[in-house]
A and B are shown apart, each in its own frame.
Chain A
Amino acid sequence: MKLEIRRIESARLTKFCNL
């Protein structure tokens, strides 16, 4: 059987700094 490999997105945490 084929073992599936799924890419995991980065954990990117933000704070908006647009005035």
Chain B
Amino acid sequence: MTAPQQLAGPVAALVASRDGVDCTLGRPDLGIYVAVPEPGVVFVETLQSGGSTAEAAARAGAVAGAPVDGADFLAGLTAVGLLDPVVADQRAAAGSGGGPKLRWIEGVSPQVARRLFGRAGWTVYAMAASFCAVALLVIDELRPTYEDGWFLGDPVISLLILTPIIVVLAGLHEAWHWLAGRAVGVPAAFRISHRGPFLVFETDLTQIVALPRRDRYGPFLAGTALDCTVLATALGLRLLDQQALLDLSPTLYRLLGAVVLLQVTGIVFQAAVFLRGDGYAVLANALRCHNLYRASWLTLRARLLRVSEADRAELAAISAHDRKVASWFCACYLVGMLGVAWFMLTFVVPYLISMTGWLWANLASGSPSSAVFWESLAVAVFVLLTVVGPPLLGWRERRLRRRGVLM
């Protein structure tokens, strides 16, 4: 029996990779990747070289040391979407779940990108991170406090000026992931997403799973490397000013203080592995997991609530290794999410209530010809986006996940 003709295109589009005993099959155009045992890769490679299904099963069986069920394997590949028809100009070509490509980075050649992430580049990042750690530990005056956010005295003007700075710093962080991906030949997709109640910028480097695990750490850590470099620069300038070696204007000195606060909180958030940020990517890679976040969520639900048959089947389809790690990681997830809830109730909700009251008073009584009215309106729009954005994005991403296009 030969492979059905309509499968020739999808089978040719499959990319197989080996990393020791870990093997993956993927469709870069769809952003779908699966882990399979080595006979699975042999099976696909045989089909790709023109072999029949029977030949593929025989060769896979020779590697496995036992007869292989080829029809069942093909059905499994079809079920996860790996044998979907090839569509020209696939929108989701860069990652899963779509997301625009940024042309200006596509224009950076891999050779140029590699210069940022060679031995010299990582030496600079490591020195920046070390300087930040020592400076923040040793020098009290450099440590950020939450008041540093209101660097202009007027909280609204501070907020208006900090907003574009936050966007630029977040964009730079993502650009560094992107460039590090470019350096190893992995394209990226960019999107705005959420983690719990927080709005995030997100770079999807899904095709990186076709690389050996040790080659994935650089792109995963690149964003924080850039954050440390920006933080070291801000701390260094403030230190020079404190030592009277540099004379910064008081406003610039305080603005750098706000940047320090933003970067320190940003780096701390990356360490919150339960929020599936960069720290999670590093941890899941080190633990050699494939689908830990979903496994943890399903494990937690099974322990605390009743789960549907579909959820039970989905958890059973995840590897025993991932389920074993999820059995303790789900506790981290629960404690972390309770911490987020406490953080929201203690800090964010009171802030939103006082901010809303203040904005309402300004907008209701202010005249459209006054600066205060427009400042208040701009802040109101930004606050509204950060409040309604996460739940709306969560709803959209759940729909994408059910369709299997965003994991």
Which A positions have Cβ atoms within 8 angstroms of B?
1-19
B33 touches A8 (CB 8 A): yes
For A9, the chain B residues whose CB sits under 8 A away are 284, 290-294, 407
User: What are 29 A-B residue pairs whose CB atoms fall within 8 Å in the complex?
Assistant: A1-B61, A1-B69, A3-B64, A3-B73, A3-B76, A5-B76, A6-B35, A6-B36, A6-B291, A6-B322, A7-B33, A8-B290, A9-B292, A9-B294, A10-B204, A11-B205, A11-B208, A11-B220, A12-B203, A12-B206, A12-B276, A15-B174, A15-B266, A17-B167, A18-B198, A18-B199, A18-B386, A19-B159, A19-B166
CB of B140 within 8 A of chain A?
no
Q: Residues 124-168 of chain B: 1 if any A CB is under 8 Å from the residue's CB, otherwise 0?
A: 000000000000000000000000010000000001001100110
CB of B281 within 8 A of chain A?
yes
A10: which of B37, B96, B149, B266 is its contact (CB, 8 Å)? B96
For B223, the chain A residues whose CB sits under 8 A away are 13, 15
- Find the A residue at minimum CB distance from B65: A1
Decide yes or no: A1 and B174 within 8 Å by CB, A11-B206, A13-B205, A17-B199 being known contacts.
Answer: no
Bound Cα distance A8, B28 (Å): 13
A10 touches B31 (CB 8 A): yes
A8 touches B35 (CB 8 A): yes
For B159, the chain A residues whose CB sits under 8 A away are 19
Bound Cα distance A11, B281 (Å): 7
For window 251-290 of B, CB contacts with A under 8 Å fall at: 265-266, 269, 276-278, 281, 284, 290
- Find the A residue at minimum CB distance from B404: A7
A13 touches B174 (CB 8 A): yes
Q: How far is the CB of B166 from chain A (nearest CB, A)?
A: 5
For B149, the chain A residues whose CB sits under 8 A away are 19
B34 touches A8 (CB 8 A): yes
Bound Cα distance A18, B162 (Å): 11
